[in-house]
Amino acid sequence: MIDKIEACIDEHAEQFIQIRQHLHQNPELGFKEYKTTAFICSFLESLGLQPVGVEGRSGVYVDIPGTSPQIYAYRADIDALPIQEKTGAPYASKNEGVMHACGHDVHTAIALGIANALVKIGRKPGATIRIIFQPAEELTPGGALEMIERDVLKGVSSIFAAHVDPGLESGTAGLKEGPLLASADEFDVEVDGKSGHAAYPHRAIDCISIMNQIISAFYKISSRQIDPVQPVVLSITKVHAGNAYNVLPVSACLSGTIRTFNNDVRKAMPRHMEEIAKGIAAAYGATCKLTIHKGSPPLINDRSCIETLRSACHKVIGKENTTELIHPRMGAEDFSNYLQKVPGAMLRLGTKCDEKTAWSLHSSHFEIDAKAIATGTKAGAVFLWEIAEQSRDIKLD
């Protein structure tokens, strides 16, 4: 049956390259993926499946019925980024300032390819396969939480996903047990001082000077207040204050992100930040407010799920092309929200074959080797088939 699955995917490989190109040309931002959702539903219905969505909302899921009560899920994300594309590809984005620069068009094409293969092989899987097409992965806190509220995990035993990786060669896959990606929380700090003439700073409360000290102190948290063996990254990405050369402004704002793999560290960081910011502000007679916007938790792959995924990769692409990833990465993925509810795992899919396909994720030049679509589809379909077969002998009520 595995040979039959792979043959079906090879037979339709060009179709799903074209589907990916169609999706790439027509990207939509998070929670606005209405045309993308309609396209997905139309394709699934052409296979005789019944996609389940919510009227007026983007995102959908579909079940491929199996012979046992078990359900195994596969997630693809469908949203794009607010980036102006510069690839020059003939299928470049038609939507000004919007681009599939993180491979979600690839993820969607792979998920549709998996559905196509599992339907067309002509035999029911041993368990129901649920394929989730999730909106708004790129937003905080992310569309996964909405899909969970829609009960997409109801009855699900485990969940899986793949993510393109331009750091890995096309035709290969990367696996890692345990922490794979970091949590991603965002923060804003506002300091309110007292405005005044720039020539007489002693008559004002200089919020810019205070903000500079807060920034410096924030960058020392990871080395002086957090155990140095626990990785944590705090990056300040926006600073704003004032609009004149000769006026000390009344307020200053900064924003940034916090990344870690440890939930205890994640909880501790806001406390340290607030103590530092308010303490420095108070020392100079200013006030300060810290706001934390909670994002995705750390993405931690389940050991058993990784073992099953590894077995499928060895069969499809070979042991020599299955890379064991050593270090986790500070990037984030809201797939981690599903893993807070059920065990699961994410595979990293190699997409690089030359300089053109080596651009990083979220780059305006991001591109993939199209052959990686078939590789990802085979790995996902074979894996889902094999894990479903483990439930074939369980009888329906």
**pLDDT for res 397:** 47
- The answer on pLDDT for 242 being more than 90 is yes
Residue 132 CB neighbour total at 10 angstroms: 27
> Cα separation of 19 and 12, whole Å?
11
**pLDDT for res 391:** 83
CATH number of 2-181+298-389: 3.40.630.10
- Conformation bin of residue 222: beta by default, left when phi > 0, alpha when psi is -120 to 50: alpha
As separate numbers, helices (DSSP H) first and strands (DSSP E) second, the chain gives 11, 16
- The answer on pLDDT for 317 being more than 70 is yes
**pLDDT for res 394:** 62
Which H helix or E strand runs over 170?
none
Give the pairing of strands 322-324 and 232-241: unpaired
Residue 259 CB neighbour total at 10 angstroms: 23
pLDDT digits (tens, 9 = 90+) for 157-191: 999 999 999 999 999 999 999 999 999 999 999 99
pLDDT digits (tens, 9 = 90+) for 208-236: 999 999 999 999 999 889 988 899 999 99
Cα of 299 vs its chain's centroid, Å:
10
> Cα separation of 290 and 203, whole Å?
26
Q: Report yes or no: 171 and 317 within 8 Å, Cβ to Cβ.
A: yes
Non-local CB neighbours of 133 within 8 Å, separated by 6+ positions:
37, 40, 59, 60, 61, 76, 77, 78, 108, 111
| DSSP characters over 284-324 | TT-EEEEEEEEEEPPEEE-HHHHHHHHHHHHHHT-GGGEEE
> Cα separation of 241 and 213, whole Å?
14
Q: Name the residue ranges covered by the structural domains of the chain.
A: 2-181+298-389, 184-296
Distances (CA, A) of 334 to 75, 93, 377: 11, 24, 21
Average pLDDT of the chain to the nearest whole number: 96
**pLDDT for res 393:** 65
Q: What pTM was computed for the model?
A: 0.94
**pLDDT for res 193:** 98
CATH number of 184-296: 3.30.70.360
pLDDT digits (tens, 9 = 90+) for 1-11: 899 999 999 99
Helical H runs in the chain? 2-11, 13-25, 34-46, 104-120, 144-149, 207-218, 221-224, 263-283, 303-316, 336-339, 371-389
